Amino acid sequence: MIKILQKKLGDRQDDACYVVDGEKFYSRLYAMQKAQSLCRTPDPHEVWGKVKFQFPIMAKGDEPESNIQDLSMERANNIRQNNKHVRIWASGGADSTNTILNFKKAGIRPDELATYLQWPGEVEASQNIEVDFSYRPFLKKLSKDWKDVNARFFHVLPDHYHWYSINALEHWIGYTMLHPPAFNSQIVYECFPGLIEEAQTKPPVDIYSGPDFFIGKDVNGWFYRFLDHNFNFSFNSPYQIYFIGDSSDTKLFLKMCYLAKKHIISKNGEDCLGQWFIKSTHIPEFQYQEWPHHYDFIQANHGGNNHRGILNWGSKGSVRFLNMITSEMGQKTLMSILHRYKEINDTNPHWFNDGNIINDWIGMFTSKVYFEKS
């Protein structure tokens, strides 16, 4: 039985969230609805003064002297020492693989590895290719050294998707990104409520690699900031912390900021001004372990609104959509979600890029943090 989670689980106070009139929201939709209700004029821009996005990680000061590999192992050790039950969520992608390998290199074991598989329309082989072709072979090699680490797979089936479309459609849209077949680990906790029961006796910490971020320079100096899109709107996922850092441990992330700054200067010169999107696999200086493809590419002057949108999610997104429409149940689920999308768009088109929900939410940034200033 699916059990809906409305409240944030865990006692952390440093999760990314939206703030409206002093109240925290872990849903973009619900935050916008509250902010819109506070508006007193027909001006569509008024709502942006009512809602703020925040991620209270304050990494400031001189560049850490240790190299990024040592800081990554130190971060793994810190997580292990301060938590009773460590669960790493993995997909087979570069970021989660790097997180696992940093634990391994530090000689530290998590208690478990977890991943979820998505079946929005039909259970068939072409779906979840990243897990099947990357994570499973990696896990097979890893198990030789980590025999005592429990590896778990959670299958979210077409019946689960369809249940939400009938019984909790607003909730699904409120706590997932604007891409109908996709979701985050909150949905896994709801579909497998035994995870919540386990947490009563084994309080977990759920490790995710961390969001991509932005580095910029203006007249006040070098800064970093985060865009809400890069969290995949997984703000209400239970017990989560990010490997790149949290409010109590910022050295690794601060090192990443300095390395990204140096990389940008090497490409653009000391006098450059602007903002750059930092994806970890695109910065060779981040030294992702055993990952061969460092593209040495950063996207300059990214304003936060060159959106993905409902359809534009690349090959993985296309496979998800194809899977969703291969069954009658999946088609009904998709149509229910799209119908509600249209209702939301018709009521508040100014929330979305170009006034169209197909083009995704208008991105919201955290405030700039000038990291060289302690």
Least confident of 120-134, 207-221, 338-352: 120-134
User: CA angle 325-327-331, nearest 5°?
Assistant: 50
What pLDDT does 280 receive?
A: 80
pLDDT cut 90: percent of the chain above it? 78
**pLDDT number for residue 299:** 57
pLDDT reported for residue 292: 47
pLDDT for residue 294: 44
Separation of alpha carbons 85 and 82, rounded Å: 9
- Show Cβ contacts of residue 192 under 8 Å, excluding neighbours closer than 6 positions: 154
At 20 the pLDDT is 98
Asked whether the predicted pLDDT for residue 369 surpasses 70, the reply is yes
Per-residue pLDDT tens digits for 270-322:
999 999 999 887 788 887 755 544 444 555 555 555 556 677 667 778 888 88
| The total number of residues written for the chain in this structure | 374
Read off the pLDDT of residues 169-207 as tens digits, 9 standing for 90 and up: 999 999 999 999 989 999 999 999 999 999 999 999 999
pLDDT at 295: 45
50 and 39 Cβ atoms separated by less than 8 Å: yes
Confidence of residue 130 (pLDDT cuts 50, 70, 90): confident
CA-based torsion, 93, 99, 100, 105: positive or negative: positive
pLDDT digits (tens, 9 = 90+) for 19-37: 999 999 999 999 999 999 9
In the chain, domain spans: 55-359
d(CA 233, CA 310): 14
- Taking the C-alpha atoms of residue 302 and residue 369, their distance in angstroms, rounded to an integer, is 17
Strand 274-278 to 213-218 pairing: antiparallel
Counting other chains too, the contacts that 264-273 makes at CB distance below 8 Å and 24 or more residues apart are 264/215, 264/217, 264/298, 267/298, 268/300, 272/217, 273/217, 273/218, 273/219
**How confident is the model at residue 310, as a pLDDT?**
75
pLDDT of residue 285: 86
Dist. CA 50–CA 324, nearest whole Å: 36
Would you place residue 15 in the very low, low, confident or very high pLDDT band (cuts 50, 70, 90)? very high
Among 85, 130, 80, 83, residue whose Cα is nearest residue 104: 80
To the question of pTM greater than 0.85 for the whole model, the response is yes
